[in-house]
Amino acid sequence: MLRDFKNKTAVLTGAASGLGLECARIAARLGMNLVLVDVQQDALDQLVSELQPAVQAADSQVSAFLVDVSDAAQMAHLAHRVQADFGAPHFVFNNAGVAAGGLIWESTAQDWQWVLGVNLMGVAHGVRLFTPMMLEAARQDPLWRGHIVNTASMAGLLNPPNMGIYNVSKHAVVSLSETLYQDLALVTNQISASVLCPYFVPTGIHQSGRHRPADRPASQASLSQRVGQAALDKAVSAGKVSAAEVAQKVFDAMMQNQFYIYSHPQALGAVQTRLEDIVQARNPSDPFAHKPALGDALRQALRTKA
């Protein structure tokens, strides 16, 4: 477990907003060297300026990189720079993510490439590039400790309707993370992993479409996608648990070697129902059983002609 953070190195993707930004603020206060990764140059510059006083006070360093985490070459270049400038990172936060909704058959090939590219392959690139560095550092020093945290979602443990493409990406991150945890346990006691499963937290992810690359353009939004976007805007904006609170849970989990990190533990009842459906071979339960009016409104909206 990673307990001593001072003068250690943190690599954080999606660092310029939401959970990445709040984790960067905590890491700066703890005296870590920071590698901030995002696709928003202006927001990165602003964050570096904000953190500079804390970094200077701790005699640590901060670097910012404009990187599309879905791009294998860009991520390889990032890993090379991290190795050269800081050595193996002690904390890797594979956090960059985007959101998209709508009925699953209405997602285009470009939608799948964009969402899976960022949400899944961004995590996969972080794991495959930084884990070998960390393992080598652990082999060189029996006191070296490291931790990898991958951001999934409660949508990685559930399957809410009208969010299919996002659900798929986050289920994959949960599976990747659980496997990573088990694989690390086979080869070392010095590095571990966690998966972060936030529910509706005000992070700005509902506005991620503005960062969509030109080579994966969005088509004209369907009725279900418009309905899904409106619901996501409302749910994320109304979230009662702050990104700062969830970021603190990330650091607490690393210190306690806790694998599953939840922003809203009260949502686990729905996860239990899903698992019971699987074990008992039941058809999937109604996700709106406790809020039937919400389900009725969604069905009515989607059965109304545009």
CATH label of the domain that carries residue 122: 3.40.50.720
Q: What are phi and psi of 262, to 5 degrees?
A: -120, 135
Flag whether 117 is in a domain: yes
Backbone angles phi, psi at 146, to 5 degrees: -150, 160
Helix, coil or strand: residue 225: helix
pTM: 0.93
Would you say residue 283 lies in a domain? no
In a domain, 64, yes or no: yes
d(CA 157, CA 268): 9
Give the pair of three-digit tokens for residue 57.
């006070």
Residues of the chain scoring pLDDT < 50: 306
- Give the count of domains, the chain: 1
Range of the domain at 109: 9-267
Structure tokens at 274: 């899903």
Tokens describing residue 244: 């700062």
Answer whether residue 280 is part of any domain: no
Q: 148 has which bridge partners? A: 92, 193
Q: Is 21 contained in some domain?
A: yes
Helix then strand then coil, % of the chain, to nearest 5: 55, 10, 30
Matching residue, tokens 């005699």 = 59
Q: Do residues 148 and 92 touch, judged by C-beta distance below 8 A?
A: yes
Separation CA 61–CA 86 (nearest Å): 9
Task: Give the pLDDT of residue 10.
Answer: 98
- Going from the C-alpha of 145 to that of each of 54, 72, 80, 83, 261, the distances in angstroms are 23, 26, 20, 16, 20
* Both tokens assigned to 46: 């602003």
Question: What is the spatial distance between Cα 41 and Cα 38, in angstroms, rounded to a whole number?
Answer: 7
Buried b (16+ CB within 10 A) or exposed e, 2-41: beebeebbbbbbbbbbbbbbbbbbbbbebbbbbbbbbbbe
Give the chain's end-to-end CA distance (angstroms, integer). Answer: 53
298 domain-assigned? no
| Cα dihedral 37/46/61/119 (nearest 10) | -20
Q: In this structure, is residue 53 part of a structural domain?
A: yes
Q: What is the pLDDT of residue 205?
A: 65
Task: Using alpha carbons only, give the angle 186, 191, 193 rounded to the nearest 5 degrees.
Answer: 90
Q: How far apart, in whole angstroms, are the C-alpha atoms of residue 184 and residue 135? A: 9
- pLDDT at position 236, please? 74
The rounded distance, in Å, linking the Cα atoms of 271 and 269 is: 5
The answer to whether position 3 is within a domain reads no
